[in-house]
Amino acid sequence: MIFETTKRETEFPRTFGVKVSAVYRGAFTLPEGTTLEDGELLRKLCRLLVKKILYIYSSYRSKITAKRLSFLRPLSRNTENLEETPIQCFSTRILDDLAICYRRAWFNLNSVPTRIKKEIFDHSKIREKRLKTFFLQEAVKRGLNALNSSLGFFHTRYLIGLRGIADIALAEPFLIIEFCLTPICSIKHILPRVAAYAFAYRLKYGCSPLALIVSSHDLSIAVVDYSNFHYEKVFKELSWLRKIDIKYVTPTYSRYCNSCIYRLRCPKEGS
């Protein structure tokens, strides 16, 4: 059985075999105020970003590894061949939690309330949202074909599905682009989710896309290598977490604890 004897990893965040193969550094850091007042500046930056991404795609087009369909056989993009078998679906963002902490993922899987009030106003999030909007507008202007970015797949053995919406999905060039708020040096926890989007893209559209992460912090770009994504291990751990009691789930105790939305719910050992 694949990964059946694999020990649980102790180094977090985990990437499940996904890695960054190259990083293209941004030239500057955007001022916080650019979110609301400087829309024209953001448009200009997005035009440059589209050009840079097209250059990166031309450089990596011949290096994209096409996964054999036999390798993806346990995965299905729909439930047509599963008749009336019940499938439990989760958001692909559960992979961010799974990469960071088992207990955090358990809380997410079980829909535990966070007790943390959501931020009403956040310049960084607004800036990221506008960057995505302007980027897509500029991409369409250049004749790029935007696809339905709602992606998902199911594991026919574990009867678990993952569904999510990638920030940008394009055809010709075949691209998955995910924007993030964090600096490009701190994106390890995002890699499994981006790999999942790439696998879902492959199953849905039949082509292996180039997967990129763009940091809205300074517009740095990371090229994601998902060729060795251990999706079997991901589904095995999700299956384990949905069945187990919280008392058997060990927290990570990492730098992510202070910013964790479940920090008021987490019964930390020894506290």
Task: For residue 223, tell me if it sits in a domain.
Answer: yes
Whether the Cβ atoms of residue 254 and residue 100 lie closer than 8 Å to each other: yes
- Pairing type for strands 160-165 and 210-215 reads unpaired
Domain count, the chain: 1
**Is 10 domain-assigned?**
no
The answer as to whether 268 is a domain residue is no
Residue 4 lies in a domain: no
39 within domain boundaries:
yes
Find the CATH number of the domain harbouring 223: 3.90.320
Assess if residue 152 is contained within a domain: yes
Q: Is 5 within the bounds of a domain?
A: no
**Per-residue pLDDT tens over the stretch 198-248:** 999 999 988 889 999 999 888 899 999 998 999 999 999 999 999 999 888
State the SS3 of 160-191.
EEEEEECCEEEECCCEEEEEECCCHHHCHHHH
Q: Which domain holds residue 55?
A: 19-115+125-259
Report yes or no on 266 lying in a domain. Answer: no
Please write the tens of the pLDDT for every residue from 6-43.
Answer: 334 457 789 999 999 999 987 555 555 554 446 788 88
